[in-house]
Every structure is written in structure tokens, then in C-alpha cells.
Amino acid sequence: MAIIIDGKKIAAEVREELKSKIKWLKSLNIRVPGLVTIMVGDNPASQSYVTSKSKACSEIGMLSKVEILPVETSEQQLLEMIDLYNSNDDYHGILVQLPLPKHINENKVIERISPGKDVDGFHPISVGNLVIGKDTFYPCTPNGIVELIKRYKIETSGKHVVVVGRSNIVGKPIANMLLQKKEGANAVVTICHSATKNLSLYTKSADILIAAIGKANFITADMVKEGVAVIDVGINRVEDVSLPKGYKIVGDVDYENVSKKASFITPVPGGVGPMTIAMLLQNTFLAYIKITKQKLD
């Protein structure tokens, strides 16, 4: 049976570490880190993410602001708001919740965020730095995956990591992070996606399998080898009439059967999910340190 990777516990540890650092800053009566989250429109999933992010900030004593703009907000108005926060010293991290309404160009918005405040790690400068191995903000979900791998001491050097999914938010960045020639990485990485033929051929040779596909129970036990470490990034709703809400949340991996073959596995919920917000808080703290240091130089 696999060791279950407890993302909830590790995320709580990360939050506690940050909380005590912020408590120390407060005791010195100096500015604390701040995060602004900007959301356009009223997408319920986005609303719930934004609320969780803001709550998590407040819980550790970070300054937090949520800007909810009406769906008809123009691209120009959004860009102007970003400019205001780029030059506001109280906020060290700026997060624009995606997706944005269709009339707003997401790339243009991401590029407007000052790279020093890009706590999502989506700015092309952050992405470029990640690829060439320079210090940068790592996107929160991949960063959370690496943190789990490190804290559970799962060997990556020379191991075959198979990433299923090529999104800019998870697949591409996690592949590049684990490819770096450094401790906690140094893996042999394969990225598979919707056009991959004979997917099992790749997944069966994985020492570490990262599933970021967005399809419930997609990875089955016959697709993995004995002893694989499985990281499940999926968050899928499936109907379950026995539950009061009428649905349950499952990952991209058939947990019940794959866990019988795996050495490590992340559950859904409680695996990668809780790490994402913890890493956002960590990135905001990092942005605060960098900005504060620059001011002293």
C-alpha cells in the first residue's frame, strides 16, 4: 500500500512557518506583506478561490485586499488598476484571477503586472527565468508539488518523471522545474498530452507520474508500474446522489486501484490542492523580502 502524501498537513506547516515570521514583523512594528487579488465578473468557482485566498492571508496576519470588478470592466480599466497596485507599497503580490471575460486579453493583463509582484509566476519574465534556472517566482501549483516531493524525500535525480498535461499553469512549469540541474530536481522528464499515442507506454515507465489532465479517474492501475509515486493534480466534480450536495470531488487518478500499486500517492481532496494557496502565501512573502531588500540597497 502506498504512503499517502498529506498535503493538508504540509500546507498547514508552511502557513505556520509564515505566520510566525509575520508575527515577528508585527512585533517590530514594521510593514507586513500584502496581497491584492483582482477578479473580474462573478464566476462562482473563481469567487470561491478568491475568498479562500483572502481568508488564508488574513489567518497568517498578511494584509489582504480583494478587488471585484463588474463583468463589463474594460481591459483598459483593469490595466489601470494593475498600474495602481504596481506602485502601491502596501501590496507586494498582485494576483489577477483567471479566466478573465473574453473581451479582455489575458496575456496583456499578465504582462502588465510588475515582475517583482508576480506571485502567480505567470509573467513571461518569470516563465523565462524558470526555464533557464534563474531565481524567480514559481507558479503555485507546481511549486506545491515540488515541496511535497521534497518533504516526503522522494528521489527525483535521474528518475523518469512523466507529466500528463501541458498547461501553462501546471504541466509546462512542473516539467521545467524538475528538469533543472539541481538538488530536488535533475529528473528525466517526458510531457504527454491529448495528442500522445499509446499513453500507457509512457505512464508505465514513470517513476513519478504527475497527472494534470482534468478528467476524472483517467489514470487507471493498468497504466502504472509497481512502486510509482503518483501526484494527482486533478479536481473533478462527479455526480454522487448519496451526498447532500449531489457530487463529490475526485482527481485524475483512479485512487482506489492505483494506490494499491503506488509507493506514494496524493489524495484528492487533501493532496496538491491545499499546497497551492500555501505557496501563494510563500510567494507573497518572498516578494515582500525582495522588494524590502531592494529599498535598503
Enumerate the active-site residues: 53, 97, 120
Distance in angstroms (rounded) separating the CA atoms of residues 81 and 261: 50
List of residues 6+ apart from 23 with CB closer than 8 A: 61
- When the beta carbons of 166 and 225 are compared against ligand GUN, the nearer one is 166
Contact with ligand GUN (CB under 6 A): which of 6, 120, 232, 254? Answer: 120
Number of chain residues interacting with ligand GUN (CB under 6 A): 7
Stretch that binds ligand GUN, among 90-98, 195-203, 229-237, 262-270 (CB under 6 A): 90-98
- CA distances (Å), 239 to each of 134, 243, 245, in order? 44, 9, 9
Distance in angstroms (rounded) separating the CA atoms of residues 94 and 43: 19
Cβ neighbours around 265 below 10 Å, total: 26
Write down the least CB distance from residue 82 to ligand GUN, Å. Answer: 12
Strands 247-250 and 264-265: unpaired
Q: Which of residues 218-257 bind ligand GUN (CB under 6 A)?
A: none
Q: Does 96 bind ligand GUN (CB under 6 A)?
A: yes
- CA distances (Å), 252 to each of 191, 209, 269, in order? 16, 11, 11
Write down the least CB distance from residue 39 to ligand GUN, Å. Answer: 9
Residues 159-198 as x/- pattern, contact with ligand GUN by CB under 6 A: ----------x-----------------------------
Distance in angstroms (rounded) separating the CA atoms of residues 129 and 60: 29
Residues in the site for ligand GUN, rule: CB under 6 A? 95-98, 120, 140, 169
